[in-house]
Structure 1
Amino acid sequence: MQWKHVRKAALCAAVGGLLLTARPAVAAQPDGLDKAFADATAEYQVPKDLLVAVGYGETHLDGHDGAPSSDNGYGVMHLASNPQNKTLEQAAELTGEPEAALKSDTAANIRGGAAVLRALADRAGLDASERKDVNAWYPAVARYSGAADDRVARLYADTVYGLLSQGIKAEVVVPPRKVRPERGTYEKVKPLAATTGEPQAGILSTDYPPAHWVPANGNNYSPGRSSAIRKIVIHVTQGSYAGTISWFQNPSAQVSAHYVIRSSDGDVTQMVRDADTAYHARSSNAEALGIEHEGFVDNPSWFTDAMYRSSAALTRYLADKWGIPRTRANIVGHNELPGNDHTDPGPHWNWDYYMSLVNGGGGSLVGGSPADFDGDGKDDIVTFTHGANADVYVAKS
């Protein structure tokens, strides 16, 4: 599959160092993946469950055969090489592994992620006893994000500790545990979203009230519009929620979207005002609103019901606000726009279900329970069928 591209000028320096002798990508089997995490833990004294949670939050433990993410990050641990975040180069220096191996070999990539986390822990002054306590690693995890904005760094770390609290059932299993992260200076940073039990905080959007407002860098969008808003474009981030927010704040990115939605719970962050032109759809930018969805085109595990419902609520709201017909002619995938070479949202995006939510009331901005499909304030009974059709049947109230 093709990964989302950013403008060549933004990444020419980063990709120019690709080695022509790169080893073939290694797709680790579950047993091999568990061993890779265990070996990295033994070498660098990073708690295994913490290391897995960082990787799961970044990629769902999917290395994508060594292909880069939207912000030029690689492998299970998302070792990045961009002007703001150079964990790939740091990992190469710390481990002695060639950058090509860190990109394509899963065990090397996990080892590199562990080495970077250990270096951050050493910088934070963690001793041998503290390194055994996952709660003490919070500042190191926040800095691993590479985010320039402390709110985004806290969002990243809170997501990792939320995963530790909930547990992970994937190729490597992490049992749920009670966490009390020692945030240090990040304790004073207002969280963008309630990921570990805190109430929502921070500045809210004036365009869409449920969204947080975290502005993209001014290099990545243009003030105003040269056309009326006629379309809503559905994207997939090819990266994590916090990573995407951080990338749109990076002045070298030259890309952005109006909204970003989290996979796990549908949390929404707005980064460009509706009235301004985000850089997300090339020739269609002037007439389109862009919504990015956390995840990767080739991995359907990111497309949760919470994400579909949150996105449908946002799309319904924006369509009604701007007078956009709620049809597939006006609510489109990035891949459907002329002059674009992207594949998102890809074959795993369920357009029938999504549009039923947009038009059927299940994604309404105001509503009660998540099981209230028609917005009448009462829970409905839902049946999902297996197979190619993936039909959904609803018994109201």
Structure 2
Amino acid sequence: MKQSKWIILLTTLFLITGCSNETNKAESIPTIKIDQASNNGISNLNLTPPMTITSMPTINYLLPQKSSEERITPITHIVLHFTSNAAKNPENPYNPNDIRETFLDYAISAHYMIGREGEIYLLVPENRIARHAGKGDLKNFPHYKDELNKYSIGIEMLAIGTEEEMNSMLPANIYESIPEPHIGFTEAQYQSLQRLVNDIVNRNPAIKKDRAHIVGHDEYAPNRKTDPGSLFNWSEIGF
């Protein structure tokens, strides 16, 4: 009888110790809170590791998880884009809520978006694949044909290109109605982009800081894309 009591006591102690260890493990998992100046009605989110994001201040505009895929490939490239809502609202083409809705409507995404004042919006964590590059070819990387999304981080800038670059998206009369300050890129965007690119490169050693690894969408898909286009000044970000 005494022996049975000892067995029961030891078993109970073992189970309590085991639960205690598991609890400690769970409590030790940190969370990453995204700082934001404004969320424009979008709820705050806590991201648990292994989410990867910039340490720079960002505005939380996370897209639903269905807008991206799990990443299992190394990050070797950064792809630059421009985007706007000029087709629907040429007078106010840079409302981030409108552009976010467009991303959702067309099932596209990027990791970051940079506004006209240099504000950085977080759309997709870097450890997930965003749908920004689509089909194309990249010089010196033949195995990336139609697969650049898997190996890259996409950065959208709120900007509008030349009339020629936009003619597949905008009729001439709409382009002509766009206020001049909305055309091209701003100094604040260049400054934020350069800092963001440097930050991403520093955290991802497979991305070499050169024009073979930091590319425009128009270089990957020249037959169908014109962004960031001829108004984008690469020297502003060190190239």
Short-chain TM bin? 0.5 to 0.7
Alpha-carbon contact 2:184-2:231 (below 8 Å) kept = no
The 1:309–1:241 alpha-carbon spacing in structure 2 relative to 1, beyond 3 Å, is: farther
Residue 280 of structure 1: aligned partner: 132
User: How is 1:108-127 mapped onto 2 (pairs within 5 angstroms)?
Assistant: none
Residue 195 of structure 2: aligned partner: 313
| Alpha-carbon offset, residue 203 of structure 1 | 5.7
CA distance in 2 between counterparts of 1:226 and 1:315 reads: 21
2:99 corresponds to 1:244? yes
The 1:348–1:208 alpha-carbon spacing in structure 2 relative to 1, beyond 3 Å, is: same
2:161 corresponds to 1:297? yes
The 1:261–1:203 alpha-carbon spacing in structure 2 relative to 1, beyond 3 Å, is: farther
2:113 corresponds to 1:260? yes
CA distance in 1 between counterparts of 2:62 and 2:232 reads: 27
Where 2:73 maps in the other structure, the secondary structure is: coil
2:67 corresponds to 1:214? no
| Alpha-carbon offset, residue 215 of structure 1 | 1.6
Of 320, 326, 348, 2:209 maps to 326
CA distance in 1 between counterparts of 2:64 and 2:58 reads: 18
The 1:339–1:226 alpha-carbon spacing in structure 2 relative to 1, beyond 3 Å, is: farther
More strand by share: 2
CA distance in 2 between counterparts of 1:302 and 1:350 reads: 10
Alpha-carbon contact 1:257-1:272 (below 8 Å) kept = yes
More helix by share: 1
Alpha-carbon contact 1:204-1:211 (below 8 Å) kept = no
User: How is 1:80-119 mapped onto 2 (pairs within 5 angstroms)?
Assistant: none
Among all aligned residue pairs of Structure 1 and Structure 2, give the percentage whose two residues are the same amino acid: 28
2:74 corresponds to 1:191? no
Alpha-carbon contact 1:241-1:260 (below 8 Å) kept = no
Deviations 1:287-343, CA, capped at 9 Å, x for gaps:
010000002122773411000000110011001111111111111000111586211
CA distance in 1 between counterparts of 2:45 and 2:190 reads: 24
Where 1:332 maps in the other structure, the secondary structure is: strand
2:199 corresponds to 1:344? no
Residue 227 of structure 1: aligned partner: 73
TM-score by length of 1: 0.36
**Which amino acid counterpart does residue 255 of structure 1 have in structure 2?**
I
RMSD over equivalenced CA pairs, Å = 2.5
Alpha-carbon contact 2:111-2:130 (below 8 Å) kept = yes
Alpha-carbon contact 2:62-2:122 (below 8 Å) kept = yes
CA distance in 2 between counterparts of 1:317 and 1:326 reads: 11
Alpha-carbon contact 1:235-1:345 (below 8 Å) kept = yes
Residue 269 of structure 1: aligned partner: 121
**Which amino acid counterpart does residue 329 of structure 1 have in structure 2?**
A
Larger-Rg structure: 2
Where 1:286 maps in the other structure, the secondary structure is: helix
Residue 124 of structure 1: aligned partner: none
Residue 45 of structure 1: aligned partner: none
Equivalent pairs, count:
156
| Alpha-carbon offset, residue 226 of structure 1 | 3.9
CA distance in 2 between counterparts of 1:271 and 1:340 reads: 27
CA distance in 1 between counterparts of 2:219 and 2:53 reads: 26
Could you say which structure has the greater relative contact order, defined with CA pairs below 8 angstroms and 6 or more residues apart?
2
Where 1:291 maps in the other structure, the secondary structure is: strand
CA distance in 2 between counterparts of 1:309 and 1:254 reads: 29
Where 1:348 maps in the other structure, the secondary structure is: coil
TM-score by length of 2: 0.59
Q: Which 5+ residue runs of structure 1 have no aligned equivalent?
A: 1-189, 194-200, 357-397
Where 2:191 maps in the other structure, the secondary structure is: helix
CA distance in 2 between counterparts of 1:192 and 1:281 reads: 26
CA distance in 1 between counterparts of 2:68 and 2:74 reads: 17
CA distance in 1 between counterparts of 2:58 and 2:236 reads: 23
The 1:340–1:272 alpha-carbon spacing in structure 2 relative to 1, beyond 3 Å, is: farther
Q: Which runs of 4+ in 1 moved over 6 A?
A: none
The 1:309–1:203 alpha-carbon spacing in structure 2 relative to 1, beyond 3 Å, is: farther
